Amino acid sequence: MPLDLAFVRKQFPALADDFVYFDNAGGSAVLKTVAERVYEYLTTTSVQTGASYAHSRRASERLAQARARFALLVGASRAEEIVIGSSTTALCQNLARALRWRLKPGDEIIVTAFDHESNIGPWRGLEALGFVVKVWGLDPQTCEIDLDALDRLMTSRTRLVAVTHASNILGTINPIAEIARRVHAHGAEIVVDAVAYAPHRAIDVIALDVDYYMFSFYKTYGPHLAMMYGQYDKLIELDGLYHYFYGRAMVPQKLEPGNPNYELAWGAAGVVDYLDRLGGGSGDRAAIERAFDDIGAQEAALSERLLSYLRDRNDVRILGRRDSLAASRVPTISFKVEGRDSAEIVRAVDEAGIGMRFGDFHSKRLVEALGEAGSSGVLRVSMVHYNTVEEVDRLIVRLDQIL
């Protein structure tokens, strides 16, 4: 079904003005219902959880409900598999801390050259403890990854592979289920950064067969909060990060030092309600999958409009896939204009009331590997389902004036 864009846009108060939001991979607009839930929580339930009085019981129930909604969103079979944190960066650093004592010197970790630094730095940091860190690169010309190259990097000492589900620069969707299959065949675990994927496509952690999987709600229509799915048995094995009396089996609490942010967790559950409503309101996974099918179709139309313009220009290098298939890419489109400074172009676009961006977007190693770090980095137009083809046309008109 085509998305009801009038309904969709009405759910996001920030979209009421004429400004064009094309920096969604930096941070999306927030749903009205999310903001209302945060306000309502703070003004009615802002007490510590875990006590016996009524307000505290209600706060505890709300946290449990939010966790269950997050489990539904990613297809986890139990709510205890959801670890809530302040950001994906913090969750990944915490995971590295909780995991490191299970590793032995000489054990190998594979990171990529195409991830955001959040899923590289914490693992590279373990090198100092005697672990071997290897880097899985990509072809700098085609921007494509090579699964056989990953196979060649893995040995019997490989313990972990850290990889992104979608690049926040290239927009390419990586075949995580297939990568997980290969990683598990070597007896290793996989940790996936899904920050650039979660706003765009349905997640099914069971079908993907991932061990750890994380993303941030502030890029998925919610507040500054993040979540990590971890397979229950794997979470039990991790070291705790909280007080010594939080035992091994206290999952996920032992991995949430200082407790999660209750009001934002309650607010973020509004994202799941929104997706449910978009998908027909049946309250189950099917609704979420239907919503993302429609989101994917709208996004493909947006990508095609911009990519067809960029493909026609001889002075533009598109970084990543040139096709707009929903199964192949998300509508995060980066490019470079020959002989032009990216910052100068973005500033001229700013003047037209259109928010796009330039730089390396903390995927510094990728932008360097592509040879595009100079001239203020790359240009990025990052769209989501609430953007319109008319907005893309406004950008194209502006780019035509500038280029």
Residues making contact with ligand PLP (CB under 6 A): 25, 87-89, 116, 118, 164, 168, 193, 195-196, 216, 226, 362
- Closer Cβ to ligand PLP, 216 or 342, answer by number: 216
- Closer Cβ to ligand PLP, 294 or 360, answer by number: 360
Distance CA 171, CA 296 (A): 13
Is residue 67 within 8 A of residue 265, CB to CB? The reply is: yes
- Closer Cβ to ligand PLP, 49 or 118, answer by number: 118
In the complex, the smallest distance separating the C-beta of residue 357 from ligand PLP, rounded to whole angstroms, is 11
In the complex, the smallest distance separating the C-beta of residue 150 from ligand PLP, rounded to whole angstroms, is 19
Distance CA 160, CA 268 (A): 30
- Closer Cβ to ligand PLP, 279 or 359, answer by number: 359
In the complex, the smallest distance separating the C-beta of residue 194 from ligand PLP, rounded to whole angstroms, is 8
Q: What are phi and psi of 83, to 5 degrees?
A: -105, 125
Nearest Cα to Cα of residue 203 among 173, 163, 238, 181: 173
* Cα dist from 274 to 99, 234, 241, whole Å: 35, 31, 33
- Closer Cβ to ligand PLP, 257 or 280, answer by number: 257
The pair of structure tokens assigned to 17 is: 């003005």
- Closer Cβ to ligand PLP, 255 or 399, answer by number: 255
How many separate helices (H) and strands (E) can be counted in the chain? Answer: 14, 13
Distance CA 204, CA 106 (A): 33
Is residue 185 within 8 A of residue 135, CB to CB? The reply is: no
Rounded to the nearest angstrom, the gap between the alpha carbon of residue 217 and the centroid of all alpha carbons in its chain is 8
In the complex, the smallest distance separating the C-beta of residue 198 from ligand PLP, rounded to whole angstroms, is 10
In the complex, the smallest distance separating the C-beta of residue 51 from ligand PLP, rounded to whole angstroms, is 31
In the complex, the smallest distance separating the C-beta of residue 260 from ligand PLP, rounded to whole angstroms, is 14
